[in-house]
Amino acid sequence: MGMRERVRRPACLVIEEEDGKKTRVEDFEPELPLSPGTKIFHQPNTNLNIIAVMGSGKKIDVNVLKSGIEATLIHHPRFSSLQVMDTEGRGAREGNGKWVRTRVELEKHIIVPDISNITITSPDRFLEDYISDLSATTLDFTKPLWEFHVINLPTTEAESVVILLCHHSIGDGVSLMSLLLSCFRKTSDPNSLPTIPNKTNLFADRRRVGLCSSTGTVGDVLGLLVRFAMLVGMLWNTFMDVFSFTATSSSWLKDTVTPISVKKGMPFTKKRFVHKTLFMEDIKCIKYAMNVTVNDVLLGITSAGLTRYLSRRYSDGGGKKGGGALPENIRLRATVQVNVRETQGLHVMADMMDEKKNKDAKFGNWIGCILIPFPIVQRTDPLDYVRTASRISNRKKNSGEANFICLCSQILIKIFGIKKAAFLSSELIGNTTFSFSNIVGPLEEVSFYGHPLAYIAPSVYGHAHALTIHFQSYMGKMKAVLAVDESVIPDPHRLCMDLSDSLDSMKKAVMSCG
């Protein structure tokens, strides 16, 4: 479900000295109540955590890391505040609470496991297991809900790794990623913020209902007619999307049960996180040849990769009815969280950590949810997956689904309360197959206080889906990050390869066409 958060300006803490002079000590947030966007992520079935695995090009100096975090992140109110929940009365029943500023003890937030006495035969597997075990833990509410884990162990892609674990109640993926990257600087120019393309969300580029001005009476009339037709089309798309969304939340419309579906009522298990590197050069080769967007290509790759994977699972007897061919008319959809705020650059996020500057940036959970269908069908031409994805994407851009759902969520919470909204959110997840997201990263190499970033692989866990697919671009590469329930998807690396192989087949098809 989508929701907005109310933004308030910070108060200024002033103390009066013995001589009568008043001194400004610091900016601080008063004890603000938790917004609906925060409270919903504390409900049992929507208690989510964001995890970001960051590879470093050199061994991590923990003292330097602490100094860097002390100079950046902990100045942000949400990284230096406790979430104090009401424990009795109506407030407890409605999941109410408040933000309370506190002194951050970095020693409790930066965790360096001792691995000196452990025999590690495969560093990559050790790291994978460590991250998987983290998904079975909970964050401590007696401190701000975030922590960094430092693993000084060389792996295939990095000399060491830092893992950020953060509760989703602090903010959505776009705001957290933007805030995190605003702490980095270009390796080539330590005084400059990273360069990030304007589009930072999958469906942020919504089409405007309008035309360039026409000249003459006939042109004006035609322009009005076209604008009216576009408006009607957008309203119709919005109506159909909201109807489908409502039917899914109400369990009237469900995805087809497949080998990657989770059975309702299945207890939460820890996730395994794996990732595969794709090259932006290959993706853009398809993009320019077909006149589509990078997002269209990623959606096409996902559809093709899932078709490959499910075809193999069905042929191996992974379907309910035993081995056989891929069934027809599979309904398989993903929930996609869409950023409904106006895009804000890294400079705005960087200002939020400077207590002398304005903190009016819309941080937190400003998201609306949409449903994206992924056709699961064998195609002779791999580029057909991209063509279909482009049509679906263009239609979604010409719909107000995300903003409408965001608005309806606020109304629903006010009328029926947070628990009912959380229940409908969990039903939506239970009646769809997986989660999907894509965030744009820096174009060039960036560093954090002398530590060059080798890669970044973010994901989320805590919801009922057995599969979450996240794409993250950085420095000419695209990370495909999978979070899976191994009891449902026992071979996540194989699924990663299916995504990679699908991209290769599309590139070959483009090259063969000249």
Report the side by side order of strands in the sheet with 477-484.
Answer: 272-279, 477-484, 467-474, 434-439, 333-339, 367-373
C-alpha pair distances (Å), 50 with each of 131, 173, 459, 463: 12, 8, 6, 11
Among this protein's residues, is 168 annotated catalytic?
Answer: yes
Of residues 194, 188, 191, 122, the one with CA closest to residue 456: 194
Q: How far apart are CA 300 and CA 99, in angstroms?
A: 42
Q: How far apart are CA 96 and CA 498, in angstroms?
A: 44
C-alpha pair distances (Å), 23 with each of 13, 101, 354, 356, 373: 9, 20, 18, 14, 58
Which residues have CB under 8 Å from 413's CB, separation 6+?
3, 36, 40, 421
CB distance 363 to 480 below 8 Å: no
Separation of CA 299 from chain center: 15
Catalytic member of 168, 275, 465, 470? 168
348: tokens are 């705005």
Of residues 324, 459, 314, 303, the one with CA closest to residue 393: 303
Kind plus residue range of the DSSP H or E element containing 482: strand 477-484
Q: How far apart are CA 301 and CA 305, in angstroms?
A: 6
Q: Is 342 exposed, middle or buried (0-12, 13-18, 19+ CB in 10 A)?
A: exposed
Q: How far apart are CA 240 and CA 189, in angstroms?
A: 49
Q: How far apart are CA 47 and CA 214, in angstroms?
A: 52
**Residue 197: CB atoms within 10 Å:** 11
Which residues have CB under 8 Å from 474's CB, separation 6+?
441, 442, 453, 455, 456
Q: How far apart are CA 224 and CA 456, in angstroms?
A: 47
Q: Which residues are catalytic?
A: 168
